[in-house]
Structure 1
């Protein structure tokens, strides 16, 4: 059923709003996937905080104008689904990559982050990016390490003195 002009404008506005707030975007060709497989993919995306939408390429190109993902417009050909990471940059890449492992028909065509196009093979690097919580814990571990080392070093001085006194005591008792 064809869309009227108002419906098209609503779709363009919705995708544009999502693209303006998204951290990364992936366009993948879904040709050959069944309805059940697409439903499963959408469910996984929803659970991971990823906005996923199948949009006609002409509408998608208009929606991506004046966003960080305008660089994707030239490569939009064929049946594509758009996935936008809302919470952390790697969430859409993780969902698409994991789903594509089991379903070979899902093929990544375009990957963009921060206004730059990446090669489709770079989805692995994007998927390996830590989440916000993981990044914070890594930062805290790096910040905590010098303090722990200083504490162990300062604690070693009296420990060494005690061991030296104990060794002298043992030597005198043995003599």
Structure 2
């Protein structure tokens, strides 16, 4: 591989580290090409699975500020660069590793935080973003329905009171108003229609 090709490969891997929400380092020793193709297909939509050269990946990780794989880039390595839901990608890797024990999850990084293989397995046990959003939407709808029912009862009672007052006013006619009496010591002047007050 020429120096220019190596520089291009390092830049590409570094960019993937920076643009991904997470990255999971695996060892694929013993997996067939067909199995790796199957793994790539199972991760599609959430992650891309790339076989990488250790020395180039180490330099790319340094360029991207990723320290999660220090000391782990040995043996045949591949990285799942996660662009979608990290939980779904972790589930895909975990499930594939259960069915194909030759796939070894070594560790990862998510939002700058180093993850151990155990933490990736725990991540896979979480509910996906879609499930959490659906539950949140359901809870919000239930809360909104409760709020509406809480306000509906007082509003309907208020409407009944207003309607009763309106019926009473219509039955009794308009309320008569009287002028307030003059305060003690004040003079009152009556002005006849068309007349002058003097």
TM over 0.5: yes
- Could you tell me how far 1:116 is from its partner in structure 2? 1.6
Greater RCO between the two (CA within 8 Å, min separation 6)? 1
Structure 1 equivalent of residue 8 of structure 2: 10
Q: Distance in 1 between matches of 2:89 and 2:10?
A: 20
TM-superposition CA deviations, 1:100-145 (whole Å, max 9, x none): 1110111111122121222211222222444443343333233323
Q: State which of 92, 95, 99 in structure 2 corresponds to 1:98.
A: 95
- Could you tell me how far 1:62 is from its partner in structure 2? 1.0
Q: State which of 108, 113, 118 in structure 2 corresponds to 1:116.
A: 113
Q: Give unpaired runs (5+ residues) of structure 2.
A: 157-198
Paired residues, number: 155
SS at match of 1:109: strand
Q: Distance in 2 between matches of 1:50 and 1:19?
A: 12
Computed over aligned residues only, the root mean square deviation of the Cα atoms, in angstroms, reads 2.3
Find the structure with the greater CA-based Rg.
Answer: 2
Q: Give unpaired runs (5+ residues) of structure 1.
A: 159-175
TM-superposition CA deviations, 1:128-169 (whole Å, max 9, x none): 4444433433332333232212334556788xxxxxxxxxxx
CA pair 24-129 structure 1, distance change in 2 beyond 3 A? farther
- Of 52-61 and 149-158, more deviation after overlay is shown by 149-158
User: When the two structures are superposed, what TM-score results if normalisation uses the length of structure 1?
Assistant: 0.76
Judging by fraction of residues, say which structure has more helix: 1
User: When the two structures are superposed, what TM-score results if normalisation uses the length of structure 2?
Assistant: 0.68
- Could you tell me how far 1:99 is from its partner in structure 2? 0.9
